[in-house]
């Protein structure tokens, strides 16, 4: 059992909170009982399960054959992002998110999110994709990588159940064009209200960055729709906008 925060393995794991270190190693951290269970259930490759008996609740942990390393509360606090660290954190291998390997069936419903920055928003969008039964989430030009511990946490494990691809905007546009997928984007100044747009068939709903909105690259590609807003034009949170777009598509596809 490791109790020192100066232990080299603990230091190496704690560094995975850093995007550069995740990129260098291909590893990432999954914090929390529920999140780890969902990852194991989805057959994410877990290298090591870090377990702290002192912080662990009464629920048993499934290890699914992973290596288990017992650590003290101090190293767990060093590794975890949460203020109240959980009793279990998994060190897992990043899985493939190549758009060329994303396969969707007929008439898919997709979410494309461009240049998203806030980990909480990206995680919430994953939860929404899971809930609405979207076929995939495509993350274009991410500012925050999808393996950021705060994304994993905010997704509550939906990262492991929703097919997710990451690519540049031009690649995403080409991919949609090739498959005849209609891209419908949320624009505050669009003349068509969301509810009057046709959202059946092969459709990708597109939301832009929290501040800048959808980039100009989509101008000739996306069909603009407007979520009616009584207040300020920027009054909806990006993940709320994504949910409203996806659920209206879902309603029309019943």
Nearest distance from residue 128's CB to a copy of itself, in Å? 6
Site for a copy of itself in 199-238 (CB under 8 A): 227-232, 234-237
Q: How far apart are CA 179 and CA 226, in angstroms?
A: 25
128 makes contact with a copy of itself (CB under 8 A):
yes
Nearest distance from residue 143's CB to a copy of itself, in Å? 16
Site for a copy of itself in 91-120 (CB under 8 A): 120
Nearer Cβ to a copy of itself (52/134): 134
Nearer Cβ to a copy of itself (156/192): 156
Q: Provide CB contacts within 8 A for 147, sequence distance 6+.
A: 22, 28, 94
* Interacting residue with a copy of itself among 52, 209, 243, 249 (CB under 8 A): 243
Instruction: Give how many residues touch a copy of itself by CB under 8 A.
Output: 30
Nearer Cβ to a copy of itself (140/159): 159
Nearer Cβ to a copy of itself (1/229): 229
* Interface stretch with a copy of itself, choices 52-60, 70-78, 124-132, 144-152 (CB under 8 A): 124-132
* Interacting residue with a copy of itself among 12, 131, 163, 190 (CB under 8 A): 131
* Interface stretch with a copy of itself, choices 8-16, 20-28, 129-137, 168-176 (CB under 8 A): 129-137
Q: What is the DSSP string of the chain?
A: -B--TT-HHHHHHHGGGSHHHHHHH-EEEEESHHHHHHHHHTT--EEEEEE-TTT--SSPPP-TT-EEEEB-HHHHHHH--SSS--SEEEEEEPPP-BGGG----SS-EEEEEES---HHHHHHHHHHHHHHT-SEEEEES-SS-TT-HHHHHHHTTGGGTS-EEEE-HHHHHHHHHHTTPEEEEE-TT-SSBGGGS---SSEEEEE-BTTTBS-GGGTTTPEEEB---SS-TT-S-HHHHHHHHHHHHHHHT-
30 makes contact with a copy of itself (CB under 8 A):
no
Site for a copy of itself in 143-172 (CB under 8 A): 156, 158, 161
Q: How far apart are CA 149 and CA 27, in angstroms?
A: 11
Nearest distance from residue 134's CB to a copy of itself, in Å? 9
* Interface stretch with a copy of itself, choices 9-17, 53-61, 71-79, 246-254 (CB under 8 A): 246-254
Q: How far apart are CA 150 and CA 141, in angstroms?
A: 18
> Could you count the other beta carbons within 10 Å of the beta carbon of residue 232?
8
Nearer Cβ to a copy of itself (97/155): 155
The residues binding a copy of itself (CB under 8 A) are 120, 124, 127-128, 130-133, 156, 158, 161, 195, 227-232, 234-237, 239-240, 243-244, 247, 250-251, 254
């Amino acid at each position: 059992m490791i109790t020192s925060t100066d232990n080299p393995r603990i230091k190496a794991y704690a560094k995975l909170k850093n995007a550069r270190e995740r990129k260098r190693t291909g590893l990432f951290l999954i914090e929390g009982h529920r999140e780890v269970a969902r990852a194991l259930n989805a057959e994410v490759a877990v290298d090591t399960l870090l377990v702290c008996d002192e912080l662990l609740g009464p629920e048993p942990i499934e290890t699914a054959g992973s290596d288990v390393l017992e650590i003290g509360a101090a190293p767990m606090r060093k590794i975890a992002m949460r203020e109240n660290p959980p009793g279990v954190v998994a060190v897992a291998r990043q899985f493939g998110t190549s758009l060329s390997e994303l396969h969707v069936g007929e008439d898919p419903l997709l979410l494309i999110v461009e240049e998203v920055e806030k980990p909480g928003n990206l995680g919430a969008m994953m939860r929404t994709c899971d809930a609405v039964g979207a076929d995939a989430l495509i993350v274009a030009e991410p500012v925050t990588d999808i393996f950021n511990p705060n994304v994993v946490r905010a997704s509550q494990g939906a990262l492991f159940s929703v097919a997710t691809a990451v690519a540049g905007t031009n690649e995403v546009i080409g991919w949609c064009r090739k498959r005849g997928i209609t891209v419908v984007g949320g624009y505050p100044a669009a003349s068509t209200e969301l509810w009057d747009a046709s959202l059946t068939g092969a459709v990708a709903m597109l939301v832009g960055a929290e501040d800048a909105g959808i980039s100009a690259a989509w101008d000739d590609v996306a069909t603009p729709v407007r979520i009616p807003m009584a207040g300020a034009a920027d009054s909806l949170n990006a993940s709320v906008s994504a949910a409203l777009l996806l659920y209206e598509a879902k309603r029309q596809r019943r």
